[in-house]
C-alpha cells in the first residue's frame, strides 16, 4: 500500500470516528397501547373481578376477589391470595392485636361501620419463613344486636385502597 492509500484510509477512519463510529441501524420506538402498571408487592390488580359471597343462614353478603382460596369458618370465611386476605364472620369483635393506628365510624353502602386500622406481622411463609408487616382494616357492622366483622389485610405499602373500598362497600345485611 502506498502513502496515498494509507493517508486515505486514515482520513476515512478519522471521518467515521467523528461521525460516531460505525453506521447504525435506524431505531424506532413502538408506542405502548397503554402504560404498563408497576405493582408493588401485595398490590391487588385493578382488573380484579369481585363475586358475591352469601353464606347460607348467616344473613349477610359481601363481594370478594374471584379465584382467591377460601377457608370456611363456623360463621363466615377467609379468602386469601398471596399476601392479601379478606375475612368475614359474625360475632363479637375481639380487641385488635397491637395499638390501633386509626379508629373512626365510616359510612359504607351497607350502613355505618366502626373502622379500626392497625399493623401486625403476617404469619410466616411456610416455605421461606419470611414475615411481612401487614396493614389491617377491620370493619364492624351492627344490626339488631348482631355484629359482622370484615377484616381486610395486605402488606404495608400495597396500593389496595380501591379493592378494599369495593369489598367494604359491598357488605350488606340480607336478613
Evaluate if residue 78 carries a pLDDT over 50: yes
Q: Residue 112's closest CA among 89, 143, 153, 145?
A: 143
- Of 23-27, 63-67, 126-130, 156-160, least confident by mean pLDDT is 23-27
Decide: 106 and 89 in contact? Cβ < 8 Å: no
Evaluate if residue 126 carries a pLDDT over 90: no
CATH architecture for residues 50-173: Sandwich (2.60)
CA distance 33 to 117: 38
CA distance 149 to 146: 10
Cell of 40: 408493588
What is the mean pLDDT of the segment spanning 70-98? 93
What is the mean pLDDT of the segment spanning 104-130? 94
pLDDT tens sequence across 130-151: 999 999 999 999 999 999 999 9
CA distance 92 to 74: 14
pLDDT at 15: 44
Decide: 89 and 82 in contact? Cβ < 8 Å: no
Q: What whole-number percentage of the chain has pLDDT above 70?
A: 77
CA distance 151 to 110: 15
141 vs 26, more confident: 141
Decide: 93 and 106 in contact? Cβ < 8 Å: no
Amino acid at each position: 500500500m502506498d502513502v496515498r492509500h494509507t493517508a486515505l484510509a486514515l482520513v476515512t477512519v478519522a471521518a467515521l470516528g467523528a461521525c460516531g463510529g460505525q453506521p447504525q441501524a435506524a431505531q424506532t420506538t413502538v408506542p405502548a397501547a397503554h402504560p404498563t402498571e408497576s405493582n408493588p408487592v401485595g398490590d391487588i390488580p385493578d382488573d380484579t373481578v369481585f363475586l358475591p359471597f352469601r353464606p347460607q343462614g348467616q344473613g349477610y353478603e359481601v363481594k370478594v376477589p374471584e379465584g382467591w382460596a377460601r377457608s370456611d369458618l363456623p360463621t363466615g370465611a377467609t379468602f386469601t391470595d398471596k399476601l392479601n386476605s379478606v375475612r368475614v364472620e359474625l360475632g363479637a369483635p375481639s380487641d385488635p392485636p397491637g395499638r390501633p393506628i386509626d379508629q373512626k365510624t365510616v359510612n359504607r353502602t351497607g350502613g355505618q361501620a366502626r373502622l379500626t386500622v392497625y399493623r401486625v406481622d403476617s404469619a410466616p411463609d411456610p416455605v421461606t419463613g419470611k414475615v411481612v408487616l401487614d396493614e389491617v382494616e377491620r370493619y364492624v357492622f351492627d344490626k339488631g344486636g348482631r355484629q359482622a366483622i370484615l377484616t381486610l389485610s395486605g402488606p404495608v405499602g400495597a396500593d389496595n385502597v380501591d379493592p378494599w373500598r369495593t369489598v367494604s362497600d359491598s357488605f350488606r345485611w340480607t336478613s
